[in-house]
Amino acid sequence: MANFWAGKTVIVTGAAQGQGAEEVCTLFDLGAHVIALDIHNAQSESWSAVRSRCTEDSSRLTIRRLDVSDEGTWEAFVTELAASCIAVHGLINNAGITLRKTVTETSPAEWRHVMSVNLDGAFLGTHFVSRVMSDHGAIVNVASVAGLTGYFSAAYTASKWGLRGLTRAAALELANRNIRVNCICPGMVETPMMLNANAQHDERKVRLFHEGNRQATPLSRGAHPDEIAKVAVFLLGPDASFITAADVPVDGGMTGGGIFWRIGKMTENL
């Protein structure tokens, strides 16, 4: 596997922290050249964990600021790649934000902001990066279990359902170049975003939200970011060569268990 990744370039968005940082470090450890993109400036302290882990042959790590919702920035970035004759093997559209508000609580501006990052960002990344992607490359979109079921967070849920549709459309179009496009749907992941208290949530509500997710997961825990990163890297790699247009839940059984798992759990000691 190390031989496969040597000399290959992979782009990861939302790469400074959490799942994105873990994806960067996993790919770097395998020998890939990783272009890590995030809204944070390259000099920001937010990159400290990535820099501290990717020290061996640091020339294989490129960090730069990029707003995934900005069409012009994407176009300029890809133009640079083309001029540098860098052929991209993989893209992980990981950048995303959350908003734990219902339909009536969410303002139109908040709706547009979440969509611009979670859905527009993945569209723009796929639209532009596919132009400089090698045939037999791969794209992984990071959705959520919220895109597989109902969830009270209106904008976040809609963006993740939309991301699954985008995945299928891109997979069909790019199949003639043998570029595979897949979607992973994480459940609860122990990242800063999971524990972040939005403005409308106090610390107690955040704890209850976290505990509710844990109890809804048959494995009774959240994932470590590396458990998500390993699936993303698998889908980019040769062992997933016949997988495309797929949704892959990485959720500890949350969606597969459905409501009946919870009902069984409630009644097992009666």
pLDDT per residue as tens digits for the range 59-86: 999 999 999 999 999 999 999 999 999 9
Closest CA to 17 of 8, 44, 29, 27: 44
Q: Which DSSP helix (H) or strand (E) runs through 228?
A: helix 225-236
pTM: 0.90
pLDDT of residue 216: 75
pLDDT of residue 195: 59
pLDDT of residue 136: 96
Cα–Cα distance for residue pair 189/170, rounded to 1 Å: 26
Q: Choose the weakest-confidence range: 20-24, 122-126, 176-180, 251-255.
A: 251-255
pLDDT of residue 197: 47
Binned at pLDDT 50, 70 and 90, residue 16 comes out as very high
Q: Which residues are catalytic?
A: 156
pLDDT of residue 269: 64
Q: Which whole number is the average pLDDT over 220-243?
A: 91
Cα–Cα distance for residue pair 162/68, rounded to 1 Å: 16
Instruction: For the chain, list the domains and their CATH numbers.
Output: 2-262 (3.40.50.720)
Q: Choose the weakest-confidence range: 1-5, 33-37, 164-168.
A: 1-5
Torsion sign, CA atoms 183, 101, 105, 200:
negative
pLDDT of residue 270: 61
11: pLDDT strictly greater than 70: yes
Between 157 and 2, whose confidence is greater?
Answer: 157
Q: What mean pLDDT, rounded, does the chain reach?
A: 90
Q: Which DSSP helix (H) or strand (E) runs through 53?
A: helix 48-53
Q: Is residue 130 within 8 Å of 179, Cβ to Cβ?
A: yes
pLDDT of residue 199: 46
Q: What is the DSSP string of 152-212?
A: S-HHHHHHHHHHHHHHHHHHHHHGGGT-EEEEEEE--B-SHHHH---TT--HHHHHHHHHH
150: pLDDT strictly greater than 60: yes
Q: Choose the weakest-confidence range: 122-136, 146-160, 186-200.
A: 186-200
pLDDT of residue 250: 87
Percent of the chain clearing pLDDT 70 (strictly above): 90
pLDDT per residue as tens digits for the range 162-217: 999 999 999 999 999 999 999 999 987 777 666 564 545 567 777 777 677 677 77
Helices 121-129/154-174 angle, 10° precision: 20
